[in-house]
Structure 1
C-alpha cells in the first residue's frame, strides 16, 4: 500500500459522518440545531446570542418577529401612483418597497427555520393581523368611495 495513508485506529471510516453529525468541524457556541418543532425560550433567532436564553428577551424577540411578519403583509400594498409623478420615479418607489418587503419576508422565513413553536405561532399571527389591517383599510376605502359608512358595508357583506 504505497502512498496510501491508513486512518488512525478508532477513527471512523473515510467518508462517513462522525457520531456528533458535525463532520469533524468544531463549532463553538452553535447550540443545538433542531430539525423538528420544539418549545423553549432557549433558541437562536437570526443572530448568535439573541435572545440570550432569558425569558424577557425571548418575549421581546417574539414581539419583534410579530411586527416583522405583520410588516410583510402591510407592505404588500403597492404605493399609490400620484398624479404628476414620472413613471420612472413611481416604478423606483414601488421597486424599493418591494425590495424591503422581500427582505423582511426572508428574515421572517429564517426565524421560522429556528423550528421554535413560539416563533411559528407569532409569525402566523403577525401575518394574519397584517392581512386584517390591509383588508380592513381596503374595505373602509371602498365604502367611502361608494358613500357608505363602514357599518352599512359590513352588513351587506
Structure 2
C-alpha cells in the first residue's frame, strides 16, 4: 500500500511536522495543506468566520461577531428593500431622459450589493456555528419585518413605489 494512503492515523502522528492528512497525498510535487472544515452544527465561542484571520477565542469576541452578523443580515434586507424601491421609482417612465444609463448603473450596483451580501450570509452560515446561524436567521427575519412594515405604511399613506 502507498505510504499515507489508507492510514487512519491523525495528521502529524508519524513524528514529522507535517500538518497534512495522510490521505491527501501530493499535488504537483507540493503537499496539499487544507484546513479542517466543520461539517455539522456546533455551539461554542471558538470559530473562524470567512477568513482564517477572523478567529474568535473568547466570549466577548464571539458576542461581537454574533452581533455584527445580526446587523449584517438586517443590512441585507435593507439593500433588498432599497433595490425594490429604486426599481419601482425608476420604472415610472423617467428613464427616457439623458441620464438613463446612470439610473441603470445605480440599479445594477444595488442589485450587486444585495446579491453579494446574500452570498456572504450563506458563507457565514456555512461556518456551522449555531449562534451565528441563529443570528443570521433572526437578522433576516427582523429586517424583513421592519422593511415590510415600512413598505406597508408607505403604501397606506400613498407614498409607495407601486
Q: Which moved more, 1:49-58 or 1:100-109?
A: 49-58
| Secondary structure of the corresponding residue to residue 104 of structure 1 | helix
In structure 2, C-alpha distance between the alignment counterparts of 1:87 and 1:51, rounded to whole Å: 45
For 1:92, the equivalent position in structure 2 comes to: 105
Alpha-carbon distance, 1:73 to partner: 1.3
For 1:102, the equivalent position in structure 2 comes to: 115
Alpha-carbon distance, 1:119 to partner: 0.6
Contact 1:51 1:61 in 2 (8 A): no
For 1:39, the equivalent position in structure 2 comes to: 43
In structure 2, C-alpha distance between the alignment counterparts of 1:137 and 1:67, rounded to whole Å: 18
TM-score scaled by length of structure 1: 0.73
In structure 1, C-alpha distance between the alignment counterparts of 2:98 and 2:146, rounded to whole Å: 27
Residue segments in structure 1 that go unaligned for 5+ positions in a row: 1-5, 147-157
| Bigger fraction of residues in strand | 2
Distance 1:114 1:39, change over 3 A: same
For 2:139, the equivalent position in structure 1 comes to: 126
Alpha-carbon distance, 1:133 to partner: 1.5
Residue segments in structure 2 that go unaligned for 5+ positions in a row: 12-20, 26-30
For 2:57, the equivalent position in structure 1 comes to: 53
Matched, 1:136 2:149: yes
Alpha-carbon distance, 1:19 to partner: 4.4
Q: Considering only CA atoms, is the larger Rg found in Structure 1 or Structure 2?
A: 1
Name the count of aligned residue pairs. 134
| Secondary structure of the corresponding residue to residue 115 of structure 2 | helix
Q: Which moved more, 1:127-136 or 1:16-25?
A: 16-25
Q: Which moved more, 1:49-58 or 1:122-131?
A: 49-58
Contact 1:70 1:127 in 2 (8 A): yes
In structure 2, C-alpha distance between the alignment counterparts of 1:131 and 1:100, rounded to whole Å: 17
TM-score scaled by length of structure 2: 0.71
